[in-house]
Amino acid sequence: MATGTINGITGGTANGTTTAVVRTNSNTGYYMEISFFNNGTPHAMRGDSSLSQSIRNYAPASSTVPDYTFSTASTSAVFAYTVDATDPSDVDPSFVHNGAACDAGATPGGGANCWMGPSTSGFRIIDRNTAATAGATSTINFRIHVPNNPNPSLVADTYTATATLTALNQ
């Protein structure tokens, strides 16, 4: 959940998180995917009252690999996510980096790196290969960035994106 206000003219950045705990006795572990509700618009975030789509989906350079850094080069407001886990080895390899690129190296994003844009298709964020009988905790970090004088202009509203986390045994 993200809270706070971002000025639609001068912009700013807001961060939010949600946490999931998965318990399974599957010896081969589990994987988790995230997908975003198809709200009838091409963007995951929509104004609750205005139905505005002025916060766009973040567009990483690749649709299969997160961006190492959260780029603020877009002239529109953007929404992205990354993932972290209490056990760093649980993080899917696409969110692991080598200090310069994601899907490489051995360091999980940790909430600061490896940003992905939302999609209605499931995207793997956790890939654990052992049982989690005591529970495995994952944190999804969300970020909204609004540049100075965004295009399109940000409509004053409360914006919501609905995500679904699906955990399945390996």
Report the distance separating Cα 108 and Cα 85, nearest Å: 8
Conformational region of residue 61, where left means phi above 0, alpha means psi within -120 to 50, and beta covers everything else: alpha
CB 46 within 8 A of CB 159: yes
- Which residue is it, tokens 């850094």? 69
pLDDT level of residue 3 (50, 70, 90 thresholds): low
Q: Which residue has the higher pLDDT, 38 or 9?
A: 38
Each residue of 88-120: pLDDT tens digit? 999 999 999 999 999 998 888 777 899 999 999
**What type of residue is 116?**
M
Q: What is the mean pLDDT of the chain?
A: 91
Q: Which two tokens stand for residue 17?
A: 């998180």
94 φ, ψ (degrees, to nearest 5): -65, -20
Do you find a cis peptide bond into 152, omega within 30 degrees of 0? yes
Give the pLDDT mean for 59-76: 92
Report the distance separating Cα 74 and Cα 17, nearest Å: 23
Q: CA triplet 4, 9, 12: central angle to 5 degrees?
A: 40
Report the distance separating Cα 121 and Cα 34, nearest Å: 8
Give the pLDDT mean for 52-72: 93
Whole-Å CA distances, 30 to 18, 34, 36, 89, 109: 19, 14, 20, 12, 20
SS3 140: strand
For residue 5, give every residue at least 6 positions away whose Cβ sits within 8 Å of its Cβ, in sequence order, or none.
none
Q: What is the dihedral of CA 114, 34, 1, 53, to 10 degrees?
A: 90
Each residue of 115-136: pLDDT tens digit? 999 999 999 999 999 999 999 9
